[in-house]
Amino acid sequence: CIRCCPFGAIKEVEFRGEVKAQVIETVCQGCGVCTSTCPQGAIQLAHATDNQILAEVNALCQC
């Protein structure tokens, strides 16, 4: 997900001896590319989590 971010808003940090990805929130534009390409599914957009999006889709399907 670090390489796919068009804004460079994700950086590698070391946490408890392991390399992790960290989102730089002030740089992030909320495009969602990292969310869809994260192999572990560890990244979710603020105000657009998987559960929120599924709830919206379910609501639309009720019509």
pLDDT digits (tens, 9 = 90+) for 14-42: 999 998 888 898 999 988 888 888 877 77
pLDDT of residue 14: 93
Looking at the structure of the chain, the number of domains it has is 1
Residue closest to 46 by CA, chosen among 60, 27, 62, 25:
25
**pLDDT of 47 over the 80 cut:** no
The Cβ-side half-sphere exposure at 18, using a 13 Å CA radius, reads 4
On whether residue 34 sits in a domain, the answer given is: yes
pTM: 0.64
Distance of alpha carbon 54 from alpha carbon 43, whole angstroms:
16
Confidence of residue 7 (pLDDT cuts 50, 70, 90): very high
On whether residue 46 sits in a domain, the answer given is: yes
Residue range of the domain that includes 15? 10-61
On whether residue 3 sits in a domain, the answer given is: no
